[in-house]
Amino acid sequence: MKTLTIRGLDTELDLKIKERAAQSGESINRIVLQLLKSSLGIGKNKAFPTYYDLDKLAGTWTENDELEFTANIEELGKVDKELWK
């Protein structure tokens, strides 16, 4: 394996890489390798990409929030049998 030093990272890029590593629980090195491979079209292409945009919501709902949400989506679970004939 080769070693590569990258100079000139700006603060925003540094923070984004560190955030991605923290969110995924992987090392910064692994994240940078994944990003490089992905951008160059090398390696496995995931059938479904990994998104992190909802991670901040995980574990933040109260029991009340859950009950309210469940009540609000109850209608969505009903099937109109006439539409599916």
Angle at 29 between CA 36 and CA 19, to 5 degrees: 90
Banded pLDDT at 70 (limits 50, 70, 90): very high
Residue span of the structural domain in which 41 resides: 11-77
Cβ neighbours around 44 below 10 Å, total: 7
In this structure, what are the phi and psi dihedrals at residue 20, rounded to the nearest 5 degrees?
Answer: -60, -40
Indicate the number of domains in the chain: 1
What confidence tens digit (pLDDT) does each residue in 72-85 have?
A: 999 998 888 888 87
Asked, for residue 83, whether it belongs to a domain, the answer is no
Computed over every residue of the chain, the mean pLDDT equals 90
- Residues of the chain with pLDDT > 90: what percent? 62
Asked, for residue 6, whether it belongs to a domain, the answer is no
d(CA 42, CA 60): 37
d(CA 70, CA 59): 16
Q: What is the CA radius of gyration of the chain?
A: 21
The first and second tokens of residue 41, run together, are 């079209």
What confidence tens digit (pLDDT) does each residue in 16-37 have?
A: 999 999 999 999 999 999 999 9
Asked, for residue 82, whether it belongs to a domain, the answer is no
Predicted TM-score (pTM) of this structure = 0.51
